[in-house]
Structure 1
């Protein structure tokens, strides 16, 4: 996964973005760090059940644009179909991700550089709670969908088209880089009762020995408006 100035990895090494640290929020059950890797990693604890808060009782109609202040706490649950981030030329479909038997969050397929994954047992984008979307920064074949994620700025927008025909627009609040060894899961995945979005990829220096990046890039964003397709 991409970094500002990663060390040049060995061309013969496996995928550059070998693993993501994707903590998963478990509302009312605490927080758990889970790793996504092309190879299974030992010592990862099992994931607890994940609970999403219910949607707001009176969400805005998807065909009615809303200002940030008028946006409801959340929309009804609906799976995401496509993500668009114009400022970094992202336009990609979604694939659902689950926590496997080992307790690891599955990675998006490494053979598709233009694909993002969402944690299907958490909040869907636009629903109350924190929706987790992850993508590779690079793969064995080259740059991938979230290569430029770290260049996003506060105020940039992220559009997510949902299965119900609504387009949920999220406004970026901040972009931060955290060490995988000391990832602040509670801060990243805390639930304030509104619809939040977290975009995650790898970043920082590339460790040739571990064949992994040392950090994660996290985009913090909130639901800003809703419209119909």
Structure 2
């Protein structure tokens, strides 16, 4: 794992993470999580994530693996496909111990992106991540923050945690036309509270 390396470069990554598109797609209504209790759950064995669903904002997307760019910034999904979300593969997979990171655009290519409504999430909302082991990890949002990209909270996003947690990241704030970038990031923090089999 490249955790130490990531912490050195994530401040730059925060300038790019999840930025571009805005928009949402109606998703299927998820069944009630049979093992969700609202309490923290023990981490699951590692498995590759396949899909993210956020019923509260009608967002659903497959997940592509994201790594690092040649300049050591974190990759983001192609801005030409703003409805595509991605999972940072050098961090823990969703459901495993630690902070899994999912990035999505707020808009792109003149269209809304998968995380256009991320700022609307509130504590208690559920995020479901389907995995290739046949399980779906159920996370409960604990906090949603808007932060300046100049003060990206690297440690709270990428720092180690004892529990299985999730970070959803996109852009927000005003659009700086000179830099062609948004001024802020929207970050949703969530904790594993159950799973579907």
Q: Indicate the TM-score class for this superposition, using the shorter chain for normalisation.
A: 0.7 to 0.9
Equivalenced residue count is 179
- Rounded to whole Å, the distance in 1 between the matches of 2:160 and 2:138 is 19
Q: Which of the residues 100, 106, 112 maps onto 1:131?
A: 100
Match of 1:86 in 2: 55
Name which of structure 1's ranges 63-72 and 218-227 shifts more when overlaid on structure 2: 63-72
What displacement does 1:64 show?
A: 6.9
- Rounded to whole Å, the distance in 2 between the matches of 1:155 and 1:109 is 30
Q: TM-score if structure 2 supplies the norm length?
A: 0.84
Match of 1:102 in 2: 71
Q: How does 1:17-96 map to 2 (within 5 A)?
A: 26=3, 31-32=7-8, 33=10, 34-35=12-13, 37=16, 65-69=35-39, 71-72=41-42, 74-96=43-65
Relative to its length, the structure with more helix (as a share) is 2
Q: Larger C-alpha radius of gyration, 1 or 2? A: 1
Match of 1:57 in 2: none
Cα 1:181–1:82, aligned 2, differ >3 Å: closer, same or farther? same
Query: Would the aligned equivalents of 2:40 and 2:192 in 1 still touch at CA under 8 Å?
Result: no
Match of 1:143 in 2: 112
- Rounded to whole Å, the distance in 2 between the matches of 1:30 and 1:84 is 26
Match of 1:168 in 2: 137
Q: TM-score if structure 1 supplies the norm length?
A: 0.72
Q: How does 1:188-203 map to 2 (within 5 A)?
A: 188-203=157-172
- Rounded to whole Å, the distance in 1 between the matches of 2:129 and 2:98 is 16
Indicate whether 1:222 and 2:191 are aligned: yes
Cα 1:90–1:141, aligned 2, differ >3 Å: closer, same or farther? same
Q: Deviations over 1:105-155 (max 9, x none)?
A: 112022222210111111000000100100000002311100000000000
Structure 2: runs of 5 or more not aligned? 18-32
Query: Would the aligned equivalents of 1:198 and 1:218 in 2 still touch at CA under 8 Å?
Result: yes
Query: 4+ residue runs of structure 1 moved beyond 3 angstroms?
Result: none
- Rounded to whole Å, the distance in 2 between the matches of 1:80 and 1:170 is 13
Indicate whether 1:209 and 2:186 are aligned: no
Query: Would the aligned equivalents of 1:93 and 1:114 in 2 still touch at CA under 8 Å?
Result: no
Structure 1: runs of 5 or more not aligned? 1-24, 39-62
Query: Would the aligned equivalents of 1:97 and 1:118 in 2 still touch at CA under 8 Å?
Result: yes
Name which of structure 1's ranges 92-101 and 148-157 shifts more when overlaid on structure 2: 92-101
- Rounded to whole Å, the distance in 2 between the matches of 1:30 and 1:70 is 26
SS at match of 1:145: coil
- Alpha-carbon RMSD across the aligned residues, in angstroms, is 2.3
